[in-house]
Amino acid sequence: MDPEGVEMSMLLSIDAIGKRYSLLPSEVLEKASTFDLVVLDAALGYQSYIQDKAEGKKQTPKLSQEEMMAALERVRNNGNDT
């Protein structure tokens, strides 16, 4: 199984939900919905954010492709002004 593949991601999500709510994987498959996955993703993301903040790690800004292209263009234009 590919450690970075979709199957592994789903198995790890099932495992995380099971650990969090003390359920067997088969119970998670029977009872969980996509809402549970959304909540899990938000909770794990927030835990990671809190841990990174406590360790003084800087957050990577969430930029759209348009914002990144505009920033790149500003850098390119600044280099041509000299």
The model's pLDDT over 1-54, given as tens digits with 9 standing for 90+, comes to 888 899 999 999 999 999 999 999 999 999 999 999 999 999 999 999 899 989
Beta strands in the chain (DSSP E): none
Please report how many Cα atoms fall inside a 13 Å half-sphere around the Cα of residue 42, on the Cβ side: 6
What pLDDT does residue 80 have?
65
Q: Which helix (H) or strand (E) holds 65?
A: helix 65-80
The long-range contacts involving 12-16, CB below 8 angstroms and separated by at least 24 positions, are: 13/37, 13/40, 16/40, 16/44
* 60 confidence band (pLDDT: 50, 70, 90): confident
Q: How far apart are CA 46 and CA 51, in angstroms?
A: 9
Q: Which pTM was predicted?
A: 0.61
What's the confidence (pLDDT) of residue 82? Answer: 47
